Amino acid sequence: MDLERIHDFAWRIPKHGKMRVDGIVYASKKMLGDIISDESFNQVINVACLPGIVGASLAMPDIHWGYGFAIGGVAAFDENAGIISPGGVGYDINCGVRLLRTELEAKDIKGKKREIVNQLFRDIPTGVGSHHKNFTLGPDDLRHVLKDGAQWAVKHGFGDEGDLEHIEAGGHILGADPEAVSDRAKNRGKDQLGTLGSGNHFVEVQEVVEIYDDWAANIMGLFKGQTVVMIHTGSRGLGHQICEDHIELMLAASRRYHRRKANIILRRWPRARTSHLQTVK
């Protein structure tokens, strides 16, 4: 199959076979080789075959093997003829990325990177089965975490009131019902609050090397040469299990209503043994 070059950073997978739309991969030519050799490339094609898809099956530069629907894949579906794909919405509930700014400049930590990374490893529990050594949650505590979210963390000294102003919906969902969460999900999550996780979760100490929008950077307190920390975590066993539970319900409904199940066929992707704690520029 020949890829069609749209421009320096976009490539078209022409519609063929059962594909309903084209696939479009956003990447440099150097990155393209790794993407094509990864299973995620086939997942872009598979998504293009789903009922009701409109426009194109898109792949962002960070694309990698996901659950049927590639991580970094994007697609839109017609509200009447389309489907809902848990893999496209996001399998690990509440898993995301945050940027923590500091008042340090890159020059302030020059020569101290190894020391900083080692300290991060000591302070942040990482990897499969990790748990926070300073506290565990009882059943009542966990119910409050599920209901109040970040507000629970602030109330217990793990954040400031001002933090809630910078989180969507104040860090919790109105109407959240902890009783709708299975006991298995709760058991998987009760010891994991305050841990980083595994797989592609990471903490990176970074430097701001370029500003594209001075106004936005000023609002967010970012400046060139600043040291910041990028944190990718969330979900862990609890969020993963919640999604697993409800995918089973969707599969049952799919069989009951004779809907096509291609959208919720899951394919496991390999997880690393430990998370990544590193420094980048």
Q: 206: closest CA among 106, 275, 115, 108? A: 106
Residue 277 confidence (pLDDT): 43
| 260: amino acid identity, one letter | R
Residue 262, pLDDT above cutoff 70: no
Tell me how far the alpha carbon of residue 238 is from its chain's centroid: 15
Residue 276 confidence (pLDDT): 40
pLDDT digits (tens, 9 = 90+) for 146-160: 999 999 999 999 889
The encoded tokens of residue 58 equal: 């898109």
Residue 138 confidence (pLDDT): 83
| Percent of the chain predicted with pLDDT > 90 | 49
Q: How many whole angstroms separate alpha carbon 238 and alpha carbon 186?
A: 6
Q: How many whole angstroms separate alpha carbon 136 and alpha carbon 139?
A: 10
Residue 274, pLDDT above cutoff 70: no
Q: How many whole angstroms separate alpha carbon 13 and alpha carbon 58?
A: 10
Name the pTM for this structure: 0.71
CB distance 84 to 246 below 8 Å:
no
Residue 275 confidence (pLDDT): 38
Report residue 96's pLDDT band, with 50, 70 and 90 as the boundaries: confident
- 43: Cβ–Cβ under 8 A, 6 or more apart, which residues? 65, 66, 68, 69, 70, 73, 267
pLDDT digits (tens, 9 = 90+) for 194-251: 888 887 789 999 999 999 999 999 999 999 999 999 999 887 888 889 888 988 888 7
Residue 240 confidence (pLDDT): 84
Q: 97: closest CA among 193, 231, 200, 205? A: 231
CB distance 65 to 43 below 8 Å:
yes
Q: How many whole angstroms separate alpha carbon 52 and alpha carbon 21?
A: 10
